[in-house]
Amino acid sequence: MAIRYRRNINCLSADQLHDVREAYQALYDLPEASSDSFATLGGLHGLPSPSWCDHGAPGFLTWHRAYMRAFEKALQTVHCDVMLPYWNWSAGPTTGVPAPCRFPTYVHRNGATVSNPLYRGPIASAAGGGTTSRRPDIDTTTFGDIATAAQSAMSNGTFADFQGDLNGPHGSVHVRTGGQMGSVARAGFDPIFFLHHCNVDRLWWNWQQSHPGAPMPVGELTHPLDPFNRPFTQQWQTGADVVSTDDLGYRYQNWCLVLPPIRVWELIPVWLEPIALRRIRNARLVVRADRMPMESVELRVFVGDEKAVADDSTERNPAFAGSIGLFGMGDVPMDATQTAEGFDVGLNLTDHLVERCAHLLDDHGGDDEQAHAEREVASGRTEHGDHGEHGGGDEQHADPQGHQHDPAERTDSPTLAVRVTAFTADGAALSADRAPFGDIELIVE
């Protein structure tokens, strides 16, 4: 079975977020009697009766894992590549809900402003009808203390103790979000419910990774997870069926790299946890524009230590990662269709970034992953990632102004740098204000 990754909702690409929203909306639009409708799926948690959910032991973590997978499969009937994202309220001080869930409308991929299906959800008519809401001051509501409690739970050595200690912060998120999320009866109708419980499931997955071989109580393994049946049978799943997320086809991506917009000639320092440096699977620089350029431009990309990145030379410069050529139209006239067409051009940086990260770790003393984890536990941090007040997750933020991470304050951690330069066809430096393109984005997973 192919393994796919669930990501922090703050780390989704624009297309991935469009897919999630469109899949949610499609479930909203199904007839309520459909087994995949949001009315049916949201109602499994509370009203209308019977209420299937487990919130004590046994079954709290196992039942909700089966529930999240069932909901994810329903989303995938709309967009087969959709994976349920998580709301990471647990990595550090955060305020409010994630931005994709915060506003009543959004701009659809076709350019139209439409209702945001992650802002509110429809309540099944059998559960009273209407739509969900959250507490009036949700945008200023903080979750830092709940994150601390969740991180404390991660240090437990047994599944029973971990599950018991995680149940409290899980409930606090429900209560503090307010509205329908504040009670079992209708919590499942708020679209953020599934992002919240996806994060609960991620915490369990992380605990499993740090406690390999930890036994599950027999009562948990045999506990029936109704109404979720085993494939092609009429038998309910049990806890044993959901212990391994690999068997269910997914894992979690605990971090991502979020850079501010890249402007040519600017050097951007990037602070990364050592564990993140070891887990890079894909890296790509993408240049986007709303039309083909008239003037040919060559972009040269540098990633490495700050001294090498500041050097414009491409020969024998270990930071030089490659170039991107934008072949200009020159005097060739473009018709209306060509003028309206956008484009993107990419440069695969995976091998280069992995190599630079390896050198960086060696220069930094080869920071051992186990030692890093022990330092996190000692400091009360048991998840890898950003703890900035704005980020709300394990996404790694790189801000040259130090708003999220000031490398000067991270003397115990390695720092990379990114710089893109631009030259015309005759080799002259091209200033940023003449750049014939829009966004430059570095995507790292």
CA atoms 100, 284, 88, 17: torsion sign: positive
CA atoms 262, 265, 266, 269: torsion sign: positive
Q: What is the pLDDT of residue 1?
A: 67
Name the most confidently modeled range: 116-125, 353-362, 412-421. Answer: 116-125
Q: Roughly how many angstroms between the first and final C-alpha of the chain, as a whole number?
A: 21
List pLDDT tens digits, range 27-51.
999 999 999 999 999 999 999 978 7
Mean pLDDT of 354-360: 80
Q: Is the peptide bond before 224 cis (omega within 30 degrees of 0)?
A: no
Report the Cα 32 to chain-centroid distance in Å.
Answer: 30
Mean pLDDT of 219-234: 92
Q: What percent of the chain has pLDDT over 90?
A: 52
Q: What is the pLDDT of residue 23?
A: 98
Q: What is the rounded CA–CA span in Å between residue 402 and residue 409? A: 9
Higher pLDDT, 360 or 179: 179
Q: What is the pLDDT of residue 96?
A: 95
Q: What is the rounded CA–CA span in Å between residue 116 and residue 105? A: 4
Q: Looking at residue 232, what DSSP letter applies? A: T
Backbone angle region of 130, left / alpha / beta, with phi > 0 → left and psi within -120 to 50 → alpha? left
- Asked if the model's pLDDT at residue 247 lies above 60, the reply is yes
φ, ψ for residue 232 (rounded to 5)? Answer: 65, 25
List pLDDT tens digits, range 387-402.
333 333 455 444 333 3
Q: What is the pLDDT of residue 354?
A: 82
Q: Is the peptide bond before 98 cis (omega within 30 degrees of 0)?
A: no
- Asked if the model's pLDDT at residue 97 lies above 80, the reply is yes
Mean pLDDT of 214-221: 95
**33-42, 174-183, 310-319, 343-352: which has the minimum mean pLDDT?**
343-352
Mean pLDDT of 298-323: 88
- Asked if the model's pLDDT at residue 154 lies above 70, the reply is yes
- Asked if the model's pLDDT at residue 353 lies above 90, the reply is no
- Asked if the model's pLDDT at residue 164 lies above 90, the reply is yes
Q: Which runs of consecutive H residues, i.e. helices, occur in 4-143? A: 14-29, 38-43, 60-76
How far is the CA of 100 from the CAs of 196, 274, 344, in angstroms? 14, 29, 24
